[in-house]
Structure formats: C-alpha cells, structure tokens
Structure 1
C-alpha cells in the first residue's frame, strides 16, 4: 500500500527569491502552514508520499523541487502567463484590507467576491501550468497559489 500523496513540508529558498518584509514573511508562514495542514499532491510518476517541496528561483522562473520516498524531480515554470492575475490578486487583497478598515458590509462583500474570483482564477492557472507534472485538488491549488503570491510579493 502506498503512502498518502501529500506534502509534509515546504521550504522557500531565501537566497534566490525576493527578500520579504515582516508582513510578507508572516503571510508565507501562514500559507505554508495551511498548505501542509490539508493538501492532495500527487507528482507524476511517484509511487507514494509524503513529499517535500522546495521553492526557488532559477533564471527568473519558479522551481518546484519535489522529493519523496524513492522520488525526486524538479519542475521549472515561467510565471509570465500568471503575472497579471498575481498582480491583480495582490491589488485586490490590498483593497480588501482597506475596505475592512472602514467600508460598509456590502462594499466589503463586493471586494471579497472579486478577491475570491481572482484567487480561483489564479489557482486554476497554476493547476494548468502544473498539469502532467503534479495532480492536485482545487483546494490544494488555491493554497499553493496563495503561497506563490506570498513568495513573489514585494514589500
């Protein structure tokens, strides 16, 4: 019987990725915690997990170094196709946090609906970019997209 296909730990290579502010570092830690707590992550060709994931930057691309029992593979992705949704998601998150500080409940709900829509769009794009490399469910894709945004967010 194979071990569960899931991530057990995630590491961010601080030497190759943008230096985070304290706020962004907190967002990264929360995203990692959420992702490790609940995920379905099956690398193509892997017999069973659990797996470790190391995110780094190689030639301006995001590298996913995945390792598990008797399994190791690196997938390098250009995030250019996702650049717009990552930027828009960061902007709408800022708007959402501003709305929480002084807008009406209906205004907050409207911004939140847009935020969730972009989040879903980004998760689907990321899932598509990893198609044939890693299979994951919708919630894992959402959590991984959150982490990718936290990794690439500038202060």
Structure 2
C-alpha cells in the first residue's frame, strides 16, 4: 500500500517542456511517443533537486552542443537550478536500446511468444541500464527513484529517435 502522505511530501515534476529550438519537431509518430513519455513521467515521479525545499518543479529539456540541459524551475517559472549532462555516456545504451526495440517490434509480427519474451527481457535490461546511468549522472544534483529514472530515460531515448 502506498503511503500518500509520504508521497505528497516528496518532490515531483508537475510539467515537462521540450525546447523546440534545440530539439525540433519530428514525424507524427515520434511526436506521439514524446507526448506519451512526458505524460507517463508527469503522472508518477520523484524528482528532488539537491538542497531544495520546494515540492513541485517544472523541467525544461534542451540539447546544446550534444549535451542535455535540464532547466529546473518552480511551477510558475522561478529559477531553481540548471544541470548540463553530456550525452556521450548514453550513446551506446541508446543505440543498443533502439536496435533491440526494432527487433522487438519485428518479432511481434512473426516470432513465437518465447522469442518475443526473450527479446523483451533484453529490452527491459537495457532500459534499466539507461535508468541506472541516469541516476549516476544525476547523483548529488537531483534525486530520482528508479521508476522516474526509467521514465526519464524513455524520454531521453525518444529525443534521439528520428522515426
């Protein structure tokens, strides 16, 4: 059973915005995946910038010089903190994640249930690896739980997806 009082006392994201100037628009399929990733992230998350007492935050993501910029503000736009993360450490896991996702979607059409399950286990493993890497990269900056890190990794991956 979830302790709602404890959950309310944790920091969380109430909005996530993408900087269209640096991230740009993509195909309708990719835009849909981005909206779903943002919706899932906002629905349930734990997001606590170090040294902050506020409980609600807005996150604006942009990409500058191959770096992910996380601009954290209060819900009304007051500045909280900005963190810049190199995307280089994520390059391999995102690439592998895309490859296995492609295999998974192809397998759904023709493979046996056991083959699909095996591919899906690999996909989930890479997703977890990406989430762990994100937690490591945010250590000391922003505290997130594993589920939030998984949702952020999904969004990070979708930002790279060209469709």
Tell me the TM-score range normalised by the shorter chain. over 0.9
- Where structure 2 has 5 or more consecutive residues not aligned to the other structure, the ranges are 1-7
State the Cα distance separating 1:59 from its structure 2 match.
1.8
Which of 117, 121, 134 is matched with 1:126 structurally? 134
**Superposition RMSD in Å:** 1.5
Which of 48, 51, 60 is matched with 1:54 structurally? 60
> Equivalent residue for 1:45?
51
- Where structure 1 has 5 or more consecutive residues not aligned to the other structure, the ranges are none
> Equivalent residue for 1:112?
120
Q: Is 1:150 equivalent to 2:158 in the alignment?
A: yes
TM-score where L is the length of structure 1: 0.94
> Equivalent residue for 1:34?
40
Could you tell me how far apart the structure 1 residues matched to 2:50 and 2:161 are?
29
The higher relative CO (CA closer than 8 Å, separation ≥ 6) is in 1
Could you tell me how far apart the structure 1 residues matched to 2:160 and 2:149 are?
16
> Equivalent residue for 1:75?
83
**Higher percent of residues as helix:** 2
Could you tell me how far apart the structure 1 residues matched to 2:10 and 2:54 are?
6
> Equivalent residue for 2:23?
17
- How many residues get paired? 154
